[in-house]
Amino acid sequence: MTEKWALICGSHINAYSIVASLAAIGWGGRVVCVKTPFRSRALMELAGRDAEVWQLALHTSAELLPALNDRIPESDKKVIFFTSECFLEAFRDHDDKALPNSRYFIGSSTHLDTILDRHLFYRYVRKNGLAPVPRTIPGDEDPSSAFGDRFCIRMKRSWKGLRKLAGRVKLVTSREQRRRVESTYRASGLSAEDWCYQEALSTSVQHNVSVCGWHDEKHRSYFATRHALKYPDAFGNGDVTKRINPPNGLFVSARAVLEALDYQGPFELEFILDREQGVYRAIELNPRFWMQHGLIEAITDHELVRRYVGQDVKKASISTDKRYWVYTLKALHRLLRLDRGILRYLTDDRTVLVPPYHIALRRIGQCLLNGFDGLTAVSHDNRVSG
């Protein structure tokens, strides 16, 4: 007798929302969250939901497919979800026998390298006139000549195999600061081939907007969100996100980009405002379930996961009851730091809390055992393995 499996490549906040949606739609079958070797105790191990957590001894992303084949009968049906980019190329490159009877979406098999490499992405979007993008040059060129004394350094890709690359975008305002940043990168084994330089756009939390949802040849379900709070403020994760009306032209730009890439599946396309030009520039396409996707699931009766597993979604029923998404772990951290601004979101009936309070409190307690610095690390966990 065959079984069906939901295999989620991740075990933290993104995975939690997928598991919650699977339960809400009555999917059935076994649900497994794959925990990568470098993660400490994962959120899903504290959640108490009907999901298993497998920690696999992987050294490369390509080892995931054989590991799953060793554990799951070939005849069983499998749906594979992704919460970070580190396994996408392994699934693109596998042959049909590597994981039989499987269903998954990696964005675009023909354009995956362009999506994952931000510098290539900008060049592709600009060359094809699809959307405004920031001026960007590779790491072996002189940024001072191109941008003056104020510019950003960012990694071209988020991952090298199973290694999460150093960081967030760094705003540089002096030659000495650039030297320090690049010395840190080189000390960790990176080179100028791994990063690029980019014009500095707005760092205001209100100017970081995403178009997100689902896109394929037949179905386009787009929503606009923006961060209400981020940690750190300039280039951190959005720990409070709100649904908004899309700025003029953003849905048109998003559709142009996705159609050109032959895109299929869930997505988040991020934009940042160029204050000088008054336009939003596309900075990143996430070809996977992103951190705040639980808000879209809440207002569409879990349309993303329904489509992903192959359920018929004739028409999304859009709810107006939910407007905000709050990363509860970081919200509690803010309260412990006496940040009362978070209260307006925690007490709003239109807020989706992920995870619920009782699970967040367990995780906060776990972090306190490691000292107060462990709380700060909570806000970055999804950037490690989703």
Neighbours of 63 (CB within 10 A): 14
Give yes or no for residue 97 having a pLDDT over 80.
Answer: no
- Mark whether 211 and 333 lie in a shared domain: yes
d(CA 169, CA 150): 13
Count of domains observed in the chain = 3
Amino acid, single-letter form, for residue 178: R
Question: Which among 143, 170, 199 is the end of a domain?
Answer: 199
Q: Are residues 267 and 164 in the same domain?
A: no
For residue 377, pLDDT over 60 is answered with no
pLDDT tier at 364, thresholds 50, 70, 90: confident
Highest mean pLDDT: which of 90-94, 161-165, 274-278? 274-278
pLDDT of residue 374: 42
* DSSP H or E segment with residue 198: strand 195-199
Burial class from Cβ neighbours inside 10 Å (0-12, 13-18, 19+) for residue 171 reads: middle
Same domain, 191 and 249: no
Residue 114, domain member (yes or no)? no
User: Tokens 């040849």 identify what position?
Assistant: 217
Residue 148 has pLDDT above 50, yes or no: yes
Specify whether 147 is located in the same domain as 250: no
The average pLDDT across 140-167 equals: 91
Report yes or no: 290 and 134 within 8 Å, Cβ to Cβ. Answer: no
The answer on 380 and 280 residing in a single domain is: yes
Q: Are residues 192 and 81 in the same domain?
A: no
Q: 59 and 192: one domain? A: no
CA 173 to chain centroid, in Å, comes to 28
Whether residue 264 is found in the same domain as residue 348:
yes
Range with lowest mean pLDDT among 99-103, 199-203, 315-319:
315-319
Find the mean pLDDT for residues 29-56: 81
Sign of the Cα torsion 227, 229, 233, 237 reads negative
Same domain, 12 and 68: yes
Distance, in Å, from the CA atom of 294 to the CA atom of 298, rounded to the nearest integer, reads 6
Given a cut of 90, whether residue 41 has pLDDT beyond it is no
Is the per-residue pLDDT at 92 higher than 60? yes
312 and 172 co-located in one domain: no
Is the same domain home to 341 and 258?
yes
Contact 281, 271 (CB under 8 A): yes
Instruction: Give CA 50 to chain center in angstroms.
Output: 23
Residue 26: CB partners within 8 Å, gap ≥ 6? none
Residue range 251-290, pLDDT digits in tens: 999 999 999 999 999 999 999 999 999 999 999 999 999 9
In which domain, by residue range, is 76 found?
Answer: 4-105
Q: When comparing pLDDT for 228 and 235, which is higher?
A: 228
Query: Do 94 and 68 share a structural domain?
Result: yes
Instruction: Tell me the whole-structure pTM to 2 decimals.
Output: 0.92
**pLDDT of residue 166 exceeding 70:** no
**SS3 at position 181:** helix
For the chain, the distance separating the N- and C-terminal CA atoms, rounded to the nearest angstrom, is 32
Q: Which tops the pLDDT comparison, 168 or 186? A: 186
The pLDDT tens digits of the residues spanning 194-214 come to 999 999 999 998 899 999 999
What is the per-residue pLDDT for 369? 56
